[in-house]
């Protein structure tokens, strides 16, 4: 469990204090214990967020594991909605099959190259979900179309973007997106957070933690599950609680973590 505060300049007053719980990279498959899934659900429910965001890699390899996701996490609810996007492993599993199963079980929670605008205390917030670079620009199969992702955002409305791969953040930031939540990197599953270093850092421009660029922020979740070997050191399994704050200047503050 980690708390992140996103200070956003000119955030409408009605959105001040909005809380988002982010799950990412669950990689659900036979290797992920049912008890861990239950702990994740219990933790999210106890936080009672305004929004729940699941930023890709729901399943590890097989579309049928979407059923395990729906069985375990399908009951999660939040006043402003629960939103799911594609990750590269969801693409590898067959995105159209994964998306069909999700929509059958969970309804209209899937956002891929789409946005939804919600209202809190009279203020509007657009939640936009991208596709994933693993499918290239083939938007019909879960690929990336940034123009379509932001195409329905009303003018002047702040945007919370969900983008599994943080490599998409620069394109979102240049289009004025206030906050992007990503995953994908796992922080290499081996990190030295105090030094701002992980195994992924030499290979990726944005590998771990929080970033700022002008009036745009990025947070990269290290994964709520794991991929490959069940090993993590310094990049602990995480549920992230992000709070939006109205502030004079845009900045991100990343708190310490407690393993889930």
Q: What is the pLDDT of residues 9-25, one digit of tens each?
A: 999 999 999 999 999 99
pLDDT of residue 259: 55
* Closest alpha carbon to 209 in 190, 227, 225, 196: 196
Cα 252 from chain centroid (whole Å): 16
| Helix/strand/coil for 82 | strand
Give the N- to C-terminal CA distance of the chain in Å, as an integer.
6
Q: Whole-number mean pLDDT of the chain?
A: 94
| Helix/strand/coil for 105 | helix
pLDDT of 65 above 90: yes
Triad 212, 217, 218: Cα angle to 5°: 100
pLDDT of residue 160: 98
Tally of domains in the chain:
1
pLDDT of residue 244: 98
The CATH number linked to 199 is 3.60.21.10
pLDDT band, residue 106 (cuts 50/70/90) = confident
Percent of the chain exceeding pLDDT 70 equals 99
- Give the domain range for residue 95: 2-257
Would you state the structure tokens that stand for residue 79, as one six-digit string?
């006043």
Q: What is the pLDDT of residues 145-189, one digit of tens each?
A: 999 999 999 999 999 999 999 999 999 999 999 999 999 999 999
pLDDT band, residue 69 (cuts 50/70/90) = very high
pTM of the model: 0.97
Cα 204 from chain centroid (whole Å): 18
| Helix/strand/coil for 83 | strand
């Amino acid at each position: 469990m980690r708390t992140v505060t996103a200070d956003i300049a000119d955030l409408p007053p009605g959105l001040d204090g909005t809380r988002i719980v982010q799950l990412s990279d669950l990689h659900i498959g036979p290797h992920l214990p049912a008890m861990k899934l239950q702990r994740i659900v219990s933790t999210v429910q106890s936080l009672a967020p305004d929004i729940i965001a699941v930023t890709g890699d729901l399943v590890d390899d097989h579309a049928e594991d979407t059923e395990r996701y729906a069985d375990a996490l399908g009951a999660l609810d939040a006043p402003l909605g629960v939103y799911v996007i594609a990750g590269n492993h969801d693409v590898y599993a067959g995105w159209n099959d994964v998306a069909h199963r999700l929509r059958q079980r969970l309804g209209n929670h899937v956002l891929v190259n789409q946005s939804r605008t919600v209202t809190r205390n009279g203020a509007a917030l657009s939640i936009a979900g991208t596709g994933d670079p693993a499918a290239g620009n083939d938007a019909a199969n879960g690929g990336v179309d940034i123009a379509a992702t932001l195409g329905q955002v009303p003018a002047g409305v702040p945007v919370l973007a969900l983008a599994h791969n943080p490599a998409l953040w620069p394109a979102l930031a240049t289009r004025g997106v206030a906050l992007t939540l990503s995953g994908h990197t796992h922080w290499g599953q081996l990190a030295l957070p105090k030094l701002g270093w992980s195994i992924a850092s030499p290979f990726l421009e944005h590998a771990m933690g929080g970033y700022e660029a002008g009036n745009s922020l990025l947070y990269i979740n290290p994964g709520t599950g794991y991929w490959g070997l069940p090993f993590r050191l310094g990049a602990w399994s995480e549920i992230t609680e992000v709070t939006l704050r109205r502030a004079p200047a845009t900045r991100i503050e990343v708190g310490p973590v407690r393993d889930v």
